[in-house]
Amino acid sequence: MPAESKVETMPSSVIKVLMIDDDPFYCRFTQELLSRQEACRFEIHTVGSLEEARTAIGLEPPQVVVLDLNLKECQGLQTLDSIREIVLNCPILVLTGLNSESLGLEALSRGAQDYLVKQFITKDSLVRSIRYAVERHRAEEQRLRMAAIQDFTAMLAHDLKVPILGSEKVLEALLAKQLGDLNETQTSVLQSLRDSTQKQLQLINKLLDIYKYETNTIKLVLRPVDPHQLLDKCVQQITSNLSVDIEIDRGETPSDLAIIGDQEALEQLFNNLLDNAIKYGDSSAPITITLRNNLNKLSIDFHNSGPALPDGIQKTLFRKFWQGIPGKTYVANTGLGLYLCHRIAYLHNGNLTCKSSDSEGTTLSVKLPLFKNDNGANNSRGQPSNSLTG
């Protein structure tokens, strides 16, 4: 008969725990509690002093430290401070006695992830506290890592901007023949270099804008803004540089209607949505902007007649660095433009959505809070405000 095949099982996750407690009976009790856990395995190493802890950590760093604050050699918060000097990047779970719960709370303010009262520890509470401490620590590490990446990106973009601005000025001077005459070939090459330089500057400025809006280093000045006037300004700016047909359908929205927001940020939002509609639209069909009252928000639709987005793409359209499907539609250079639009709308208590089909084209809709006067009516009269009306 053939030999019986053995079924291999995936090893369960293992959390390495270092327990620092000079009570051997309580250490054995804790080991017994953790050994009963089936969903997660614990590899626990116990020591009775800070010196033994230093040696153990040097040999194999733990994922979490379970620390009794009252050791023979050290008492209270001094114990926590001492172990934090030994283990620099590890969550610490503090054990306290029944009469020192306030000490546990104070330990949290000094860097401990959690605390447990010894007399009330159960298997579930101990396992939950250890696992939560590890996961919170991982989440905090990830947050700090992303913050560091953001800071580095902003610093790099800022440092790159200065020399590129210098290059642009030199190219403009050359094209203006301030440094001598140019033949046709030289002019063409320099124009290409200038256009490339301007695109790099646009990308750098977009990266810096992303950083400002994500880290809240930009202070929004919230006040009533006339959407009709602002859209007219954005359309005029674009059509003065591009030969494109843009139509605005104001519907039944009153002429004195106002939204609440930051004028500069909203102008950037509208310009980006218009730029996106033009870039991916059918050049033979007009871009249409439609304004509609939607309860206590104003809905502004930016529509183009370009090819439809593939199914499911709308869900990822506003993610940072999204670039679509290579070789198909909506492949941007960086995927930052629509993410920036989504972020600006979010900071205004608004939202940005997308609808796309072969028959209807693509519509990006932004909904922004309407300004309300003292009587509760929606219009543009009133004093500047620092709060949003949702």
Looking at residue 131, its pLDDT comes to 85
CB crowding 66-87: b at 16 or more within 10 Å, else e: bbbbbbeebeebebbebbbebb
- pLDDT tier at 61, thresholds 50, 70, 90: confident
Q: How far apart are CA 218 and CA 315, in angstroms?
A: 27
User: Is the CB of residue 106 less than 8 Å from the CB of residue 84?
Assistant: no
244 Ramachandran zone, left/alpha/beta (phi>0; psi -120 to 50): beta
The distance from CA 83 to its chain's CA centroid, rounded to whole angstroms, is: 33
Query: For the segment 271-324, what is each residue's pLDDT rounded down to a tens digit?
Result: 989 988 888 888 889 999 999 988 789 999 999 997 887 766 666 677 655 444
The verdict on pTM exceeding 0.75 is no
Looking at residue 380, its pLDDT comes to 43
Query: For residue 183, is pLDDT > 80?
Result: yes
Burial class, 181, CB count within 10 angstroms (exposed 0-12 / middle 13-18 / buried 19+): exposed
Q: How far apart are CA 368 and CA 338, in angstroms?
A: 16
- Which residues fall within 8 angstroms of residue 331, CB to CB, at 6 or more apart? 323, 324, 325
Q: In degrees, to the nearest 5, what angle opens at C-alpha 194 toward C-alphas 333 and 167?
A: 105
- Reported residue count of the chain is 390
Query: For residue 232, is pLDDT > 80?
Result: yes
Looking at residue 217, its pLDDT comes to 67
Looking at residue 226, its pLDDT comes to 95
